Structure formats: C-alpha cells, structure tokens
Structure 1
Amino acid sequence: AYSGSVSVISGLHDVIANIPVAGASSIAYSEYTGNIYVSQYSMGTMAMINPYNYTIVKVFPAGKTPSGLAIDPKNGNIFVSNQEANTVTVLNFTGSLIKIIPVRSDPLQVIYDVQSEQVYVSNFDSDTVSAISASSLSVVANMSVGLNPYGIFCGKENRTILVANEYTNNITLINTSTDRVLQSITIGSGPQGICFDPDNSELYVTNAYSNFVYVLDKNYRVSAKIYVGWGPSGIAYDPYNDYVYVANYDTDNVSVINPQTETVLWNIKVGKGPAGIVVDPSNGYVYSVNQLSDNISVIDPSDNSVIHSINTGSSPFNGVYDQSNNLIYIGNFGSNNVSIIDPVDEKVISSIPVGSGPQDLTYDPQNGEIYVLNFNSDSVSIINSEERVIGTLATGKGPEGICYDEYDNSLYISNSGANSVYVINATSVSLEAVIQVGVYPFRDCVDPFNGIVFIANTNSGTITILEPLSHSPGYTHSPYLAYRIWFIFASVVVLSVVIAVYILLARYKK
C-alpha cells in the first residue's frame, strides 16, 4: 500500500516482479477469469492484472475508498467494501457496476463463503458483521461482534466465520448456516500452553502473565480459573490418573490439577525453568522439561514425586512421546539438537542435529515420524523411525507450536512472528492453507474426537478454534479407545449378571 505496488513472489520465494498499482489496499485472485484484482484505496478504483505478463489490463471505478474485496467463484462478481461510504460495491468481472449495497459504519474487510454462498463484511466502527446474499445482493443479517472488528476469515469446508476484534482482543465465531454468533472467546492474560482432556471434554489453558489455568467446557465457556505457580507455560493431560500437569517456569515446580474438583493437589519441585511437560501414556510417568537446568525431571504418577533427573542438551524446551518405539524426544533450543531418551533406562541414548532453536515437537502415529519445530530457522525437521532427519519444511516467521491432527492427517504450525497457522498435509508434505489467527500464537492442541484444533494466542489473550480442513475421518488412533471398549464390555457383563440374579430371586420368592 505505501509503496503503491504489487510484488510477485515465485514458488522459490523470490520476488520476480513489482507491478505499480497506486493506493493498493487489497488483492484477490479470480478463479472465474484467471486474473488478479487489486483495490486502490486512495484512487477509488480497481486494477485488473494479467498474472502471466504482470501487466494491468484494465482500471475501473470501485466506489469511494475501496478497502477490501472478495470474488464469487461461480460468476466472477466482485464485492468491494467502501470504507468511507459505508457501502459494498458489486461489479461484474469486466468492471461494470451491478449494485451498491448499504451496510453498517466503516466496512473494512470482506470475504466470500462458498458453503453459504454469502459475503461477510466487518464493519469496524459499528462493531458488526453484515451478511450479504450473493444471489439476491441484499443484506440478510447484521450480527453484533466485539469492538472494532477488523480481520475476517472462513475455512475451506466448515460453516464458521472467525472475526478478529481489535479493541476487545478476542475472536468472534459466526455460524454461517444460521448467521448467528456462536461465541467470543477471551482467555486471560498471556495464554501459552494448551491441552485437551478427552475424558471430560475440557480444554486447559495456561496464562503466563496472571498465573492461572483457565478451564473451558465442551461449549468453550470458561468454567473455572485455577491458581497455580508463577509463569505457567507447558501443560499436559495424563490419562493414567486423569490429572493435568502444569509447568510453572518462574517457581521451578509442576502443579498437579484434579479435573474433577478443579483444584491443585500438589506442587512438585523440579529443575530450573520448567517449560514443557511430556506424558508417557503407557505408564503415566510425567517428564518435566527444565530449560534453565538442562535436564528432565521424571515424576512417578503413583505418588507424584520426582524419582530421577536426566541431563539433556542445552536449553531443552519441550518434548514428545513416540508410541511406536516408546522413546521420548526432547528439543534442545540452545544446542540445536534433539535428545532421544529411553524411559526404561532413564538416559539419553542418542542426539540428532536439527535446525536452529528446536523447541516444540509432535508425533505422527500413521508414519511413525517426529516433527521438530525450529524457531530460529523457521523450519520443521522430520525424523523417521530410524532416528534420521529425512527432510525439512519451511514454516512462517517464528514458529512456536506444532500439533498433528489425525482427523485430517495434517500438521498445524503456529507462527508467532506472522500471527498465522500453517496447515500442512502430512502425506504429501505440502502446504494446504495459511490461516490468520490472534497475536503471537504460541502453543496448539487437538480434540481427538472431532479434529478441532485450538491455538493459544499469547499477546491477544485469545484462543482460536479451527475446524479440520477435511471432514473425512480416515484412520483414527486414540490411546483411550481400548479402555473405553473394555469399560463398555465390562458394564454390559455386570448389567447382565444383575438382571439374571434379579430374575432368579423373583422366581424363588414365588
């Protein structure tokens, strides 16, 4: 916008052309025509660009102060939000005026939703979002959201619009089937760590600046605030004892939360600067990753005592448990490598060099690979079952969190420097989507039952909720599945015995 141009970036991430476009404010590609359209805020016009020779084909009027634009892929119609005129101008793909639609005050961003075939406009000054029917070209709903809605986003295959509210620092979720607000989520001060309790369908979020853990119920409402130690960061759920473990970075301890009572049962002294928590689901053992003392504290879940300490590389940040070989992988931020720990022998058996600043890891049970997030080099290192790095993926700026979603076989990467989430297909290892989220996205986690991904945005104090890009369940593995099947089977057997005894007693009395 300030340089009055459009930069063209190749697949090799090189700028290959700069196209002069005065007052450029928003840009969109039209599947209908194959052209690029750029709104020119200060000029009141729209530029149509040929993407093959990088030339402006045509410039046409687009209303006063065009700020955002969206294109209907079915017919090529262009919807332009006119900020100072409080209208949306509708043009056909050649630039001819079709209609001017009045909306609320200060429309900024506009987006087209393929599922509902509607256009959604964020009205900054009126704290609303307008829904426009793409067929009737009329406003069908105005929804109140947070203060000063700015960015607006919708997924490929879901029916939810996410609206970022600048002044209230929260996210509003809108159901496009009903055009009603689902909820707005604000989650304390400095949310960092996040984990999901599948047994109770609850979400736990650490707040590093307020020293609380927030608990969200299945409807994503805050159901409890639990005071823990200072600077809570890493957090994990232990299915072995149904407890939640919280790493308190500034008080060098781990808080143990009982989800049933939503209270802290113990505060366990560990090493210095605990930043991450790893759980071994086979025996419930908990591993506190201590960044400042360069070691791992091993916690026995039977009495929640530290039974051993294991030295790692420099500045370990977080880790992950590999279900295929029962090993633990720790990312050492300071030494740029991954320590592989045998939990039986309680020692490091190997170290693997990776990118610069490894700090978060995730495990893919379908191929047995470990994905290591490298903060300083903006990359992901892929480690196979033979403990070799077999590839590297590029991420956004400042990647902080990574999780694997079995529901759609995708990796979700939180890029703190870009306020975005990369979605990568784990099979083709290709980028599927870039999703704008809150400010400084830090850690993320997945609900294993429906594939929904939760992103903790540290600086905006919010949680972003993402639906998986594909609703095909495919292969799904859950460590709780066998337990649940056994429980159901046992319940049926017990119930059958009770009924049989009751019938025998009834006959005996007769």
Structure 2
Amino acid sequence: MRPPLLTRALLTAAALTALAACGGGSGDRPDRAATTKAAVPAPVRKPAVDGLPGMPPVLDPKDVYAADRPDKLSPVVKDFPSRVYVPNTESDTVSVIDPETYEVIRTLRVGRQPQHVVPSWDLKTLWVNNDRGNTLTPIDPRTGRTGKPVDVHDPYNLYFTPNGKYAVVMASLDRELVFRDPHTMKRIRTEPVTCYGVNHADFSLDGRYFIVSCEFSGELLKVDTEKMKVIAQQRLPFKGAMPQDVKVSPDGKRFYIADMKADGLWILDGDTFARPAFLPTGKGTHGLYVSRDSREMYVSNRGEGTISVFDFARGEVTHKWRLPHGGSPDMGGVSSDGKVLWLSGRYDAEVYAVDTRTGKQLARIPVGSGPHGLAVYPQPGRYSLGHTGIFR
C-alpha cells in the first residue's frame, strides 16, 4: 500500500534583532560630539536563514529558487553562448546543441562513459563526469573547448557545497562520498557509506545538510555538510526501490526523490528524516526540474515516454505530457527563459525539447549513444550546487 501525501509545517524565519543604544560622541564621529542624546545605530538585520557558514545569504526564505528567475544571469555567465551539452555514455562524447537551431554544432571527445555535465560552483567551468575513465574533463563554456582531464576515481556525479568550499563526488561503485577541492579536485576527506549506488542529492534551505539517494540499495542518506558525515540513513518502504534525482521544495519544507521502480515521488521531511510519503507520477520516474517561477516541477518518466507536471502548492500532478512516438526522457534542465525543457532520450540516442507552457515537443535531435545528464548552460542563479544544474 502506498502511503498518503505528507503534510506538515517546518522552519520559520528568525526575528529582527532589537535596537541597541550606544554612548555619545567619539573621536571618529565629531559630528556627534555636541549632542546631548545617545546615538542609536540603524537596526542590524540578522540573515533570514541561519545558513551554512560562508554560504551566500538566502534571498527569500520562502523560495530557495528565488535567484533562478527567467534570464536573471550572473555577470559571470552573461556573455556565454547558450548551449545544450549532452554526455553520450556509450559514445564517450559530448554533443553540443545550439538551442536556437536545434542542431548539433560540435562533438567533443571526452573520457570513458561520461555520465553528467556539471556546472562548477563559481559558474566558470563545466565538468564532464567520465565515470569509467576515472577523470573529469573541464569545458570552458565561453569557448566550448575542453581542457586537460583531472584524475578523479569513480566520478558518477558531482555536487558542490553551498558555500563553495568543497566539491562532493558521488563515487557510486566505490561506495564513497568524496569531498574535494572545488578547483583542483584534490581529495580532502572521504566518507565511506554502507548503501550502494550513491548518485543524486540536494541541499536543505540553510545548506547545513543534504539528502543523497542510493540507487542500487533503495536507501536515502542524510549528510551533515560542515562535518562531512552521514548522520542518518533509511531504506525506502518499497521492495526493489531505485531512487534517482532529488530536489528540495521551494520553501525548503520537503525533499522529493524520484523512484524509477516505484514509479513516482517519495516526499520526505528532511529535518525529521521520518518515513516518507509517496505520490505516483509515471513508469520509470527519473529526473526533477523546477520551473522558473518556482510553482511547478517537471518530472521525467523514462519508462513510458511522458513528463508529469507537479504543482508544489497543490501537492499533486496537474498535467502529463506524452512525447509523440514515445521516447525515454531522462536528465536535463530548463532554458534560461523558462520556456523550454530539455531532456536526454537515454535509450533512443536523441534529445527532446519540450514547450513548458503546452507540453508540445519542439524538437527531437539525434545525438550519440546513451545520452544521459545533459546540461543547459548558462542558466540563471548566483552559484551552482552541481548535477546538471541546481542553481541558487
């Protein structure tokens, strides 16, 4: 029996600090010397969210995606050409698509079995995760050229802590979370895990912990970001569960975990880490992508060639779009203006472009074999948490 949808309340924002009085004039403020009343400084505002040390302040405690509005590009990326980077796991290449023409304009040779193309925390580099090749290939998004590969063992997926202090390699077969220097990728700390197949993650609103899915053992981990330690673990209540992508809700109150065997979303209270509720979406539920207005989430159902549209406020699926002639929609991202959802066709050597207003397929583009974690770049946001592009 699948449990009902979880409902609850979570964090509230912190209050403003009280005004503090101070003494009269001082040597460095001669304009106050002649006054007879104590000078009262302007109120000091504490951050609305007590975030991870060094993390950029949360713009809106009710919306973790507030920096991701249409075309709100960082100065770092505003001059980068708009491209779609598609790692082809069985061709050992990255196909580069011009989203204006829907054509492949370049094919890059990379390492063995590239799984994901990941924007760096500082937005300056795209990292290709060559899982079987045990390397990361950097791409300069300004020029589209690859750089010298960096040796990193079993880099199935790659994330960055919200303060930019560490890269986190999801070493799936090694059963490790490896914390590395975000620029040199030098190993800093290794956290062994007892689950099998760490693969996707997302961070809490305050950045102090993150939730990790374990694909092959059907488990979830809760990891303390600052301590770099697993602090909780649970097995999903479905026999044969196979959790995939992870996304936090805009208000930070829930985590959604796609499950390609249970065919839907697990809905988790990250703070309590209690048993999650479940919502069916479609066969082979895989990738999760938030709309530019933070109202909806696009859910790719790889096993049936559909995309479910989940409404955050209503807590339900409101639409299901079906790709014409079928397909295997997998991983991807949303265009900078929010009008197009891009998804790889994992088993069909193609990429889909879908209109986010109507669900109509705009293009079906042939690429290499086994396309997987494609990145749409650039996208709005101040910094990247990794994967195919989680921006805040």
TM-score, scaled to structure 1 = 0.50
Change in Cα spacing, 1:446 to 1:292, as seen in structure 2 (3 Å) is same
Corresponding residue for residue 339 of structure 1: 221
In structure 2, what is the Cα distance between the partners aligned to 1:198 and 1:388? 39
Q: 1:290 is matched by which residue type in structure 2?
A: A
Q: 2:212 corresponds to which letter in structure 1?
A: I
Deviation at 1:243, TM superposition (A): 0.7
* Contact 1:198–1:448 (8 Å) recurs in 2: no
Give the Cα–Cα distance (whole angstroms) in 2 for the partners of residues 256 and 360 of structure 1. 23
TM-superposed CA distance for 1:367, in Å, is 3.9
Give the match for residue 5 of structure 1.
none
1:461 paired with 2:363, answer no
Give 1:385 shift.
4.1
Aligned pair partner of 2:144 in 259, 262, 283: 262
Superposed CA deviations along residues 21-62 of structure 1, whole A, max 9, x for unmatched, are xxxxxxxxxxxxxxxxxxxxxxxxxxxxxxxxxxxxxxxxxx
1:385-464 matches, within 5 Å, as 385-386=270-271, 387-407=273-293, 409-437=295-323, 439-464=327-352
Measured after TM superposition, the shift of residue 280 of structure 1 is: 2.9
Instruction: Tell me the residue number matched to 1:316.
Output: 198
Q: Is the 8 A contact 2:281 2:317 kept in 1?
A: no
Aligned residue number for residue 381 of structure 1: 266
The one-letter amino acid paired with 1:460 is: D
Distance 1:290 1:232 in 2: 14
Letter in 1 for 2:209: L
CA contact (8 A) 1:275 1:318 kept: no
Aligned-pair distance for 1:442? 1.6
Structure 1 or 2, whichever has the larger Rg, is 1
Query: For residue 86 of structure 1, what is the aligned residue in structure 2?
Result: none
Instruction: Give the Cα separation in 1 of the matches to 2:191 and 2:336.
Output: 31
How far, CA to CA, are the matches of 1:216 and 1:284 in structure 2?
31
**C-alpha deviation, 1:198, in angstroms:** 6.2
In the alignment, which of 222, 234, 255 is matched to residue 370 of structure 1? 255
Show structure 2 runs of 5+ residues with no match: 1-75, 360-378, 384-392
Q: Contact 1:286–1:298 at 8 Å: present in 2 too?
A: yes
1:260-305 deviation line (CA, Å, top 9, x unaligned): 2323324233333x32222334316322212211112223123232
> What secondary structure sits across from 2:147 in the alignment?
strand
Check conservation: 1:300, 1:306, Cα contact below 8 A: yes
Aligned ranges for residues 35-434 of structure 1 at < 5 Å?
Answer: 199=78, 200=80, 201-219=82-100, 220-272=102-154, 274-283=155-164, 285-312=166-193, 313-354=195-236, 355=238, 356-386=241-271, 387-407=273-293, 409-434=295-320
More RCO (CA 8 Å, sep 6+): 2
Bigger fraction of residues in helix = 1
- CA shift in 2, pair 1:221/1:305, >3 Å: farther
**Structure 1 stretches of 4+ moved >4 Å:** none
Unpaired stretches in structure 1, ≥5 consecutive residues: 1-196, 472-476, 482-510
Shift of 1:211: 0.9
Query: Does the 8 A contact of 1:238 with 1:281 survive in 2?
Result: no
Q: Quick one: distance in 1 between partners of 2:242 and 2:225?
A: 24
Code of the aligned partner of 1:424: F
Contact 2:292 2:338 in 1 (8 A): no
Which structure features the higher share of strand residues?
A: 1
CA contact (8 A) 2:209 2:223 kept: yes
After superposition, the C-alpha distances for 1:221-259 in whole angstroms (9 at most, x for unaligned) are 433322111111122212415111222122122222221
Q: Deviations over 1:362-383 (max 9, x none)?
A: 2223344211111221121112
CA distance in 2, matches of 1:458, 1:478: 26
Question: How far has the Cα of 1:461 moved from its partner?
Answer: 2.1
Query: Which residue, 379, 382, 386 being the options, matches 1:480?
Result: 382
Report % sequence identity: 19
- Indicate the SS of the match to 2:297: strand
Separation (CA, whole Å) in 1 of partners of 2:117 and 2:275: 27
Task: Please give the alpha-carbon distance, in whole angstroms, between the structure 2 residues aligned to 1:204 and 1:282.
Answer: 26
User: What is the one-letter code of the residue matched to 1:311?
Assistant: P
Rate the CA distance shift 1:223–1:246 in 2: closer, same or farther, 3 A: same
The 2-side partners of 1:378 and 1:351 are apart by: 22
Let me know the Cα RMSD of the aligned residues: 2.8
TM-score (norm 2): 0.64
User: 1:444, CA displacement in angstroms?
Assistant: 2.5
Aligned CA distance change for structure 1 residues 212 and 370 (closer, same or farther; 3 Å):
same
Secondary structure (helix, strand or coil) at the match of 1:209 reads: coil
Confirm or deny: 8 A CA contact 1:244 1:257 kept in the other structure. yes
Cα distance change, pair 261–405 in 1 and its aligned pair in 2 (3 A):
same
Describe the SS at the equivalent of 2:333. strand
